[in-house]
Amino acid sequence: MAHAGSQKSTIVRPSQRLLRTAFRTLEHTAPALGARWADRWWFALPTAPIGDLPPSGTPFEVQSQGRTIRGHRWGAGPVVYLVHGWGGNETQLAKLVAPLVGAGFTVVTHDAPSHGTSDPGAVAGQSHAVEMGHALDAVAAVHGPAHAVVAHSMGGLATGLTLRYGWLGTDRLALVAPMVRIADHLPTLEAGLGFGPRTRERLKRRAYDRVGLAVEEVDFVRLAGEIDRPELLVIHDRGDRLAKYASAVQLVDSWEGARLTTTEGLGHQRILADDAVVRQVVAFVIAGQLDELEKSA
């Protein structure tokens, strides 16, 4: 979800001061109106450039909640789903496609609602983890059971929701810079806009009405206790300013056998393009296939 004031700055612009003044006033006089305004920031998507995909991918379309979801498929073999994050698109995980196809996998990517080339979601320019999870579930229903899912950012949380509430299952799960819980990001929005507890509680109720889950329920640590847990690899940068490293550590600690790789200096986005990260994810996926071959021998 979008985070007002999420970038560090020593400058507070006049428009920011006016915005915070307005929210502080509404906190005391009309918190329901403040929550309606904050809702627009909470669910608004940032934009990411659409890059290139490897050649020879077969485009596809599926339907999710009445919207057309667009994506691509490569290769043949066990299916690996690549799931982009908040405000991203399928091209952000493109570096994983060729090595996974070369290792004998089918690779499937897609754009979530209101992302990339897919149709707008329930509200154009906005989305949420549950809507993204529905889209992943619809894609998997067409392309088959997952050997592995590799997910970035909010895509990880959407995958967790799909594992819990949808039809998707997977043997292996790699989370890169995962957003672990929505509640982590509410204080950033609150500080950026300048509202307080009365507005916050009304905003949480609005989020429940839109999403169908309480803010506290959109939490991968909580979801982990309610699913059949696949093998888990988490790769997270210690200095990630958009997804809390401490929450990723907590997720790994709650998940028996999970592995955590900590990077330095890659942040939230550059981590996707790092060659060492790509190699580790591919090795993790391949190791799962070797395990299956050993079991069947």
Retrieve residue 61's tokens.
């379309």
Is 1 part of any domain? no
Residue among 261, 258, 251 nearest 220 (CA): 251
Q: How far apart are CA 38 and CA 202, in angstroms?
A: 10
Q: Provide the CATH number for the domain around residue 245.
A: 3.40.50.1820
Cross-strand partners of 175? 151, 234
Q: Which residues of 280-297 are buried (b: 16+ CB within 10 A; e: fewer)?
A: bbbebbbebbeeeeeeee
Q: What does DSSP assign to residue 195?
A: -
Is 16 part of any domain? no
Is 10 part of any domain? no
Identify the helix (H) or strand (E) that includes residue 236.
strand 231-237
pTM for this one? 0.91
Rounded (10°) angle between helices 31-43 and 197-211: 50
Q: Phi/psi class of residue 161: alpha, beta or left (left: φ > 0; alpha: ψ in -120 to 50)? A: alpha
Per-residue pLDDT of the chain (297 residues; tens, 9 = 90+): 554 443 333 334 557 888 999 999 999 999 999 999 999 999 999 988 999 999 999 999 999 999 999 999 999 999 999 999 999 999 999 999 999 999 999 999 999 999 999 999 999 999 999 999 999 999 999 999 999 999 999 999 999 999 999 999 999 999 999 999 999 999 999 999 999 999 999 999 999 999 999 999 999 999 999 999 999 999 999 999 999 999 999 999 999 999 999 999 999 999 999 999 999 999 999 996 655 545 554
What's the pLDDT at 221? 96
Is 12 part of any domain? no
Strands 79-83 and 67-74: unpaired
For residue 238, the enclosing domain spans: 44-181+218-296
Is 239 part of any domain? yes
- The structural domain count of the chain equals 1
Is 25 part of any domain? no
SS3 at position 60: strand
The string of DSSP codes covering 88-107 is --GGGGGGGHHHHHHTT-EE
Is 72 part of any domain? yes
Query: Which ranges of 55-213 does DSSP label H, i.e. alpha helix?
Result: 97-102, 129-143, 154-165, 186-193, 197-211
Is 130 part of any domain? yes
